[in-house]
Amino acid sequence: MSDKSPVIVDLKFDPETVAKSLASAFPGREVINLADPATRGRDLSGISYAVVWKPDGDLFERAPDLKVIFSGGAGVDSILSIPSLPDIPIVRFVDHTLTTRMSEWVVLQCLTHLRQCFTYADMQAARQWEELAQPQASEITVGVMGLGVLGLDAVHKLKVMGFDVIGWSRTQKTIDSLETFDSAGLDAFLGRTDFLVGLLPLTPETEGFYNAGLFSRLRQGGALGKPVFINAGRGKSQVSGDIVAALEKGVLGGASLDVFEREPLETDSPLWGMKNVIVTPHAAASSDERALFRNVETQIAGFERGKALPDLVDRQRGY
């Protein structure tokens, strides 16, 4: 029997993929995968580590001796909302695989709207051959909200594609080659923005943040006429009814949405059928389970050697 503490895994991902990835993960440690029916009723006391994503509400009561909680993704709101959450370190998942996936999605959405793919798809269906007026990327200002690891990588890759990019965060940040705004400069930021990219964490301040009032302050009359809203941050930061209304009224010219207040998105949501909207199933930056487990292995090994844990969640800020 190993003297290393076991690891609890409570991930609401695809069970088969998790099980397959765990087969070669955490060598020398017992892994308690709570998706495995054989673990039902298992005594979880005396265990130091848990890797979680949308964990069971009673997990922390069942595992009272945890020393560190590792999030299975960049977001941690599903962890922070649990009443029995112990006062121990929570580590966000920060990895190039997750970061790269997010930037790919953001760049894809910006290019899709820039190159008017919706209109061309309609024209293809109608067998209509007509070239549309085509603005350059440099004529579009992309405003990125959230300047953490994900946001900054997206900024860099959008710049490579030629977009004019500005950034916003709650508090002022100084970043080379990027014009930034803070809370006091929100109106100025929105008034410059053609494509609004949401990568904010969910906090009490950002719940319902993307709403009718905010959309009305985005720039009108830019190179594509109407602004576009692109959100891959947190679903509860947006008001879906306001998005639909803004699209119907022409306040927004399009949207790309990967996250929603309630998931899965309700089958009767009008967003499914809107021709200028892309809906993806919270898949913009899906965690690679193998990369996640390698990351956690490295953090545990360092922690047990006395090293400080990186990417710790600030509970006061909520991320």
Q: Which residues are part of the catalytic machinery?
A: 234, 282
How do the residues of the chain divide into helix, strand and coil, expressed in percent and rounded to 5? 35, 15, 50
Single-letter amino acid, residue 109: Q
Query: Which among 148, 238, 138 is positioned nearest to 194, based on CA atoms?
Result: 138
Torsion sign across C-alpha atoms 57, 298, 151, 18: negative
Single-letter amino acid, residue 97: T
β-pairing, 141-145 vs 195-198, is parallel
For residue 110, give every residue at least 6 positions away whose Cβ sits within 8 Å of its Cβ, in sequence order, or none: 137, 140, 142, 158, 161, 163, 195, 197, 230
Provide the β-strand partners of residue 277.
255
